Amino acid sequence: GQNIDQPTEMTATEGAIVQINCTYQTSGFNGLFWYQQHAGEAPTFLSYNVLDGLEEKGRFSSFLSRSKGYSYLLLKELQMKDSASYLCAVSNHTGGFKTIFGAGTRLFVKA
């Protein structure tokens, strides 16, 4: 089966840097995704990693270590609008591409 773990909540200060960790267990690994979800809205795609290393996209970066089953999302220069839930998701190849989500990390950005 699949298992994804991430912290329930985090708090950080505007302008700071925050790292949200995710560990996972799966077979047939075909990529790890990070999504952002604001309250009352649908999840929106942030980043994708399938190879080890760091992917940078503006203020957001995502890292993957397949051997450790570990990823993190790094948010720089935090803004109030970054207050949201961040969902780690893993895709595996099982007759299609099945994507399972972690419970999400609620990030609170304070002034």
Contacts of residues 2-7 at CB distance under 8 Å and 24 or more positions apart, as own/partner, are 2/26, 2/90, 2/92, 2/100, 4/88, 4/89, 4/90, 4/100, 4/101, 4/102, 4/103, 5/102, 6/86, 6/88, 6/102, 6/103, 6/104, 6/105, 7/105
- Asked if 108 is part of the footprint of other proteins (rule: CB under 8 A), the reply reads no
- As measured in angstroms, the least distance from the Cβ of 94 to other proteins is 7
- Asked if 36 is part of the footprint of other proteins (rule: CB under 8 A), the reply reads no
Residues 20/89, Cβ–Cβ less than 8 Å? no
Out of 31, 60, 70, 83, the residue judged to bind other proteins by CB under 8 A: 31
- As measured in angstroms, the least distance from the Cβ of 104 to other proteins is 6
- As measured in angstroms, the least distance from the Cβ of 17 to other proteins is 26
**Residues in region 50-79 near other proteins by CB under 8 A:** 50
Residues within the interface to other proteins (CB under 8 A): 30-31, 33, 41-45, 48, 50, 87, 91, 93-104
